[in-house]
Amino acid sequence: MTGDPIRLLLADDHPVVRAGLRAVLETEPGLVVVAEAATAEAAVARAAEGDVDVVLMDLRFGAGMTGAEATAAITARPGAPRVVVVTTYDTDADTLPAIEAGATGYLLKDAPPEELAAAVRTAAAGRSALAPAVADRLLTRMRAPGTALTRRETEVLALVAAGLSNRAIAARLHLTEGTVKSHLARSYTKLGVDSRTAAVATATDLGLIRR
């Protein structure tokens, strides 16, 4: 790596969070914040300008595109910057879509400043930087794939937890009602339960979905 600074884009809908990240990162040698974005759409547009090395991306924005969707849009371009997700959420329902979308790193907002700076440098070098809790969960999924819910099964269970019927879930996810039932049946088997209520409770306890 050359002596050029690592150029950062901060994408978060909370000005206080962006200010905090900027304050932490700009005290680090070799890191410079070149831009901020308050929406995921703005982050995608700004990242495309070609002068950003690493994007620090929140997962939740008030409306519109999500952080995972923005990550996918950013990383799909040739020569794209690396994306490090910085969020308060560490469930499978959050981490897996972000990593599948192409995020190089995933950190929680309570990470110490030195861990944040190290993750940025690691990502800029093209290596993965995952919060320990996230890395542990991914390793567990890899070791026991038979019990791990797929992304779609997780989505279906999250909508069950939100109180939606099978018909409403099918409409939301553009699936048939039979497909929704199949996803639920597989989830029940993996979780060792036999009802919607038990599936939601177990998945919540395991950190697979949020309530």
What are the tens digits of pLDDT across the range 62-90? 878 899 999 999 999 888 999 999 988 76
CATH no. for 146-205: 1.10.10.10
* Strand segments (E) across the chain: 6-11, 31-37, 54-57, 82-87, 105-108, 129-130
**Homologous superfamily in CATH for domain 6-141:** Response regulator (3.40.50.2300)
Within the chain, all domains assigned CATH 1.10.10.10 are found at: 146-205
**Helix spans in 48-150 (H):** 67-75, 92-100, 113-124, 132-143
Higher model confidence: residue 207 or residue 54?
54
Only one residue has tokens 């290596």, namely 127
Within the chain, all domains assigned CATH 3.40.50.2300 are found at: 6-141
The CA distance from 56 to 111, in Å, is 13
pLDDT at 147 over 70: no
C-alpha 9 chain-centroid distance = 17
Phi, psi of 32 (to 5 degrees): -140, 130
Smallest CA-to-CA distance from 70 within 81, 78, 80, 59 is with: 59
The CA distance from 118 to 9, in Å, is 16
